[in-house]
Amino acid sequence: METPDTSDSGTVSCNPLHQNEKARQNEASITRSHSQNNKGHISLRFDNRRFTYSELVAITNGFQQVIGRGGFGKVYQGLMEDGTQVAVKLRSESSDQGEQEFLAEAQTLAKIHHKNLVSLIGYCKDREYMALVYEYMAQGALDEHLNGKDNNQSILTWRQRLRIALESAQGLEYLHKGCNPPLIHRDVKTSNILLNANLEAKIADFGLLKAFNSNSDTHVSSARVVGTLGYLDPEYQATFQLTNKSDVFSFGVVLLEIITGQRHILKDPEPTSIVQWVRQRLACGSIEGVVDTRMHGDHNVNSVWKIADTALKCTAHNPMQRPTMTDVVAVLQDCLEIEVAHNDVNAGIYLAGSGGDMNGYGRYDIDTSSGVS
C-alpha cells in the first residue's frame, strides 16, 4: 500500500439525515490552521480528547496487546480509566505513512459520524508520537472470521454474513451520499471491516480516503494508484481516474469473499482473482460450486444467487455497468428479508437434496462473461 494523496484541502460536512441524533449532537469540531511551524507541520485543534503519550502507555499497559497491523503502524488494545475498551493505532517510527496520513484520517473521523463507521474517541500528537484512539471492536476484522485465522471462532452463518454485508454497505453509502463533498474510501476490504461484540459491522481505516471537489464532479484524478491488490478497480488502475464506483468494485470483491469464504487472491494453483474464480465456476450453472462449504448448506439458494449476481455486477470492468452503493444496500436488505423468512419457514434447516439446482427457487441469470482484469 502506498502513501496516500492527501492534497485535498476542502472541508467535509455531513448530511444530518444520515446521522443518528447522538452522533449529531456530539459531532467534533475541527480547525485546520494554515499557519505552519519551521518544519512545515500543520496544526490541528479537536474537540475530541487529546491524549499524551504517557497516557497511552498507561491505557495500553505498555502497548502490551497487539490486535492489528497496517501501513501506519500497530493497533493495541487499551482500557481507559472509566473502564471503556479502546483500540490505539500508533504510528510506527519506520512507517513511511506519516504525518499527512495521520492528519487526513484524523480530520475525516472528527467530522463524519455513522453507526457503521468506526468512531474516533481521541488522538495523540505528542512530540514525535502520533496515535488515533478508536472504539474497540471486540470481534476483530471480517477477514479473520472468513479465513479461519482463529480456530476458536465459530463459522459465520449466511444470515450473519448478510447482515455484516448490509451494515458495511450502509457505511459506504453514507460516505458516497451522506457527506458533502462525497467521500471515496479507496481501501475497502475484509480486513477493514471490523465487528463489535454483537457482530455489528463498521468500516475502518480512513487513511486513504479521498474527497470530490464538488458534488458535480464525475471523477477525481489521482497522482498515483493506492489501495490493495485484488480489490483495486481495473479502470482506476488504467486511467488514474477515481470514482465512487471504485469503492463499489472493491465491495463486490468483499461480497464474493463473504459468499465463498475464500481470499481475494486464490492459489488455483497460480494466483487467481476471486472474481475470475467465481465467474468460471458460475458459468457451469451451480452456486454450490462457490458457496463456503463450512456453512453446511444452511442458506437460502435464492438469496445466495442474488448476492452473487450483485457482486459480479459490482466487479464489472466498465464502471458505468456497476450499481451504486444505494442499489447494493437495497439488494442486501431484500436478501436478508428472504433469509429471515427462509429460517422462519424451514426452522433454520436447509432444504435437503437441493444440489444447487434451485428446485423451484427461480434461478438468477448471471452474466459470467464480463471481462475483469
| Annotated binding-site positions for ATP | 89
Angle between helices 325-346 and 244-260 (to 10 degrees): 20
Q: Helices 325-346 and 301-314: crossing angle, nearest 10°? A: 170
Q: Break the chain down into helix, strand, coil percent, rounded to 5.
A: 35, 20, 45
Measured from the Cβ of residue 362, the count of other Cβ atoms closer than 10 Å reads: 10
Q: Which residue among the candidates 5, 187, 233, 292 is catalytic per the annotation?
A: 187
217 given a catalytic annotation = no
For every residue of 251-289, DSSP letters joined together read: HHHHHHHHHH---SEEESSSEEEHHHHHHHHHTTT-GGG
Report the C-alpha gap between 247 and 231 in whole angstroms: 9
Binding residues: 89
- Using alpha carbons only, what angle is made at residue 306 by residues 336 and 175, rounded to the nearest 5 degrees? 65
What are the phi and psi torsion angles at 62 (to 5°)?
75, 30
Measured CA to CA, the distance from residue 340 to residue 350 in angstroms comes to 13
Active site residues per annotation: 187
